[in-house]
Structure 1
Amino acid sequence: MAGKSREKNNKLSKKTIIKNNLIERGNEARTIRRIVAIIALILVLAAGGVFLGGYIYIESSLKPLDPDNQKQKEVEVPIGSSTSSIGQLLEEKKIIKNGTIFKYYVKFNNISGFQAGNYKFSPSMTLAEITDALQTGKLVSKEVFKITVPEGFQLEQIAEVMAKQTDYSAKEIMEKLDDPKTVDEFAEKYPEIITDDMKADAIKHPFEGYLYPATYSFYEEKPSLDAIIDPMIKQTQIVLANYNEALSEKKMSVHELLTMASLIEKEATAKADRKKISSVFVNRIEEDMPLQTDPTIAYALGEHQVRTMYEDLQVDSPYNTYVHKGLTPGPIANAGKESIEAVLNPADTDYLYFLAEYGTGDVYFAKTLEEHNALKKKHITDKRKEASE
């Protein structure tokens, strides 16, 4: 009996030990899970802190180092300097906060063409101001004058704007821009956009549409005409570089893009849907119909027109889209980003006609000539009659 009792006690003791071991292991597992959870939380918080800290640091690095410090420092940029070395130099001179951030700012904004020289920069300058100075080779930070080129301006109008801000006459500027040698000079520098398409015999002004609408700062009292024209062409190349893939997909040249964009720019009112206007031009070309856009008549005649008369439609010019099908030989004005994008992304419509209402600029679209004529009577003919009474 005593042996059986001892055997029973031994079995109970083993069960107790196993049970205790299981309990102990369970406690250990819970402890481990808690530790892992705490460590994971710490890592997440640390990662979030690093991300937030990094974001704040990058954001601050993109701003002027010291907006209130306009004291200029001389910075010599040696010939052949890389973007990295320039960024490091500017950081060492305490002009910017971080040279690496500068390098990526330049890369992501597709900025290139930095020029060597002795510059004067201040910690109050933005990265945009610094890179602009490095691109243009201007050795002072304060601009002497500005030239603003509005959207939709034609080359002769732009020449007038330039003439008002410089010692050059509009005639001198136009002679420079119409000189085939000027085309060749800039073709060497900007071969992506300045092409033989601009040299066609039918072209009225080769640089029409190629001077991008924007405000340009100049840092010399009397810059050369090349120095004035160059940043305008360069900006066109910078803007169009964003659409290389779309142009390739559409098998469209830069010249065709700027030409069609100029037609849209001149037809569009403030209330117009440029993508719908683009769709009308696309549909008419596909239907082998002439574009019949009035701004091309004004361009062919060389004068501004409040109203296009029937006899004007007979003008003998390759820019007359009532007589000649397809696009004009070249742009008839410069075009802004909205019109350029409308060419590449036209609306999906069946429209073949559009018109702007007399007095309001509201634009109406039609699929058939009958619909168009009805809209013309209602929104133009009758409105003019009402206004004259």
Structure 2
Amino acid sequence: MNINQTKNSFPRKNKKTTIILSSVIALLIIICGAFFYGKSLLSPVDKGSKTAVNINIPSGSSVSAIAEILEDQHVIKSKKAFQLYVKYKGASGFQAGFYHLNKGMDADAIIKKLTAGSTGYAFQISVPEGKQLTQIADAIAKETSYSKEEIMAKLDDKTFIGKLKKQFPDTITDALSNKKLKHPLEGYLYPATYPFNDPDASLDTILTAMVQETNTRIETYKSELEKKKLSVHNALTMASLIEEEATAKADRHKIASVFYNRLAEKMPLQTDPTVLYAAGRHKSRVYYKDLKIDSPFNTYKHKGLPPGPIANAGDSSWEAALRPDKTDYLYFLAKSNGEVVFTKTLKDHNKAKEKYISKKDSE
């Protein structure tokens, strides 16, 4: 055998091995890249998002049609990737109906929801405690096709309020005709979660359901209202003040006692949330300059209850309004940690202010 031939054979073999190895590496890179790309297409559109997206899956929808709906609603990144994944998983039994998904769900979570079955309602609106009508209008607009302007116009519509008055005569009274009110139905939309089966539910239907929930509570407390000789409107107003003043650590029944004691002494209530409501803006603290606002809702300028509620109120504030503690307290203030300090005299109240509230905060 020729020595030169033997020497030359090794480079050819090494070259062939190198080509094969490079091809394998390239193939692995492509496979890995495809794997991670495919995995990314099945990951959440917006990781961490909890905002509900209302989805309607019509009866008889194919996996392809479902994937298209999900992509159109921006719940998945790729309908094709979703279809292939469903096939790979062998998933089946998707059910028609209304679903509440969110952009924080991955493909597995969505498949699990769609095979578990419909939630049974088209959409739902969550109304938290201590919210004003403008904020509730925002919540309704977010879940429906109605604009905030449409919603507020309906809430202030005399014809609509007249219909409510006929339907709920014990709750919707002549007190709502007071021209000093910013919005007649302020405080009358009860804080709760409202599911609706009809995806095209009318604005009348949505708002009436919220007033009806308030009416239900009024019926529950009817005997106590009569016993205290407290009108529905004034009860709602008092409950709203308690709701807006109370912190998580506050004793609402003690706060209620302060308000009732001040009313009995013919002292102005001097509650900061009414000043903010009068000003029409939200901020963490009221300053002395804010107390000069000329409004019937400014309880620093006007004695007695304001013309109406300044927000909605939950059961705990309603109960406090109807069942206040018996105390001699005339003052209270909230510390920075949320704890509330109650005092009987102005002297003690000022001492508490010096101790717990900085001069800078009160300027």
Find the partner of 1:167 among 145, 155, 164.
Answer: 145
| Code of the aligned partner of 2:120 | K
Residue aligning to 1:266: 244
TM-score normalized with structure 2 length? 0.66
Change in 2 beyond 3 A, CA 1:356/1:256: same
Query: Higher Cα Rg: structure 1 or 2?
Result: 1
In structure 2, how many angstroms separate the alpha carbons of the residues matched to 1:199 and 1:230? Answer: 18
Deviations 1:86-139 (A, max 9, x none): xxxxxxxxxxxxxxxxxxxxxxxxxxxxxxxxxxxxxxxxxxxxxxxxxxxxxx
Which residue, out of 331, 338, 352, partners 1:361? 338
Q: Structure 1's 141 and 186: CA in aligned 2 closer, same or farther, altered over 3 A? A: farther
1:381 counterpart residue number: 358
Q: Deviations over 1:4-54 (max 9, x none)?
A: xxxxxxxxxxxxxxxxxxxxxxxxxxxxxxxxxxxxxxxxxxxxxxxxxxx
Asked if the contact 1:213–1:335 (Cα under 8 Å) also holds between the matched residues in 2, the reply is yes
Equivalence for 2:274:
296
Match of 2:170 in 1: 192
The TM-score normalised by the length of structure 1 is 0.62
Separation of aligned partners in 1, 2:327 and 2:231? 24
Q: Cα offset for 1:182?
A: 1.4
Separation in 2 of the partners of 1:274 and 1:383? 28
**Superposed structure 1 runs of 4+ greater than 4 Å apart:** 382-385
Q: 1:160: how far off?
A: 0.3
1:218 aligns with 2:187: no
- Residues 1:310 and 2:288 are matched in the alignment: yes
Cα distance per residue 1:250-279 (max 9 Å; x no partner): 111100000000000000000000000000
Q: Name the Cα RMSD after superposition.
A: 1.5
Q: Does 1:330 align with 2:308?
A: yes
Q: Deviations over 1:212-234 (max 9, x none)?
A: 00000011112110011111111
What fraction of aligned residue pairs are identical, expressed as a percent?
56
Equivalent residue runs for 1:20-39 within 5 Å: none
- The amino acid of 2:207's aligned partner reads I
| Paired residue secondary structure (1:324) | coil
| Alignment CA distance shift 1:160-1:259 (3 Å) | same
Structure 1 spans left out of the alignment, 5+ residues: 1-139
How far, CA to CA, are the matches of 1:335 and 1:342 in structure 2?
A: 11
* CA distance in 1: counterparts of 2:319 and 2:281, whole angstroms: 28
1:353 touches 1:365 (CA, 8 Å); kept in 2? yes
State the 1:199 CA deviation: 1.0
The SS at the match of 1:181 is helix
Match of 2:323 in 1: 345
| 1:180 and 1:199 in contact (8 A); partners too | no
Aligned partner of 1:318: which letter? P
Quote the Cα distance in structure 2 between the aligned partners of 1:297 and 1:273: 22
Give the one of 107, 128, 146 matched to 2:124.
146
Q: Give the structure 2 partner of residue 241 of structure 1.
A: 219
Count residues with an aligned counterpart: 245
Structure 2 gaps of 5+ residues are 1-117
- Partner Cα distance (2:146, 2:354) in 1: 47
- Does residue 206 in structure 1 map to residue 184 in structure 2? yes
CA distance in 2, matches of 1:182, 1:309: 38
Q: What are the Cα deviations for residues 273-332 of structure 1, in whole angstroms up to 9, with x where unaligned?
A: 000000000000000100000000000000002111111111110000000000010000
Work out the CA distance in 2 between the residues paired with 1:357 and 1:382.
Answer: 14
> Cα distance 1:312–1:383, how it changes in 2: closer, same or farther (>3 A)?
closer
Q: CA deviation at 1:384?
A: 6.2
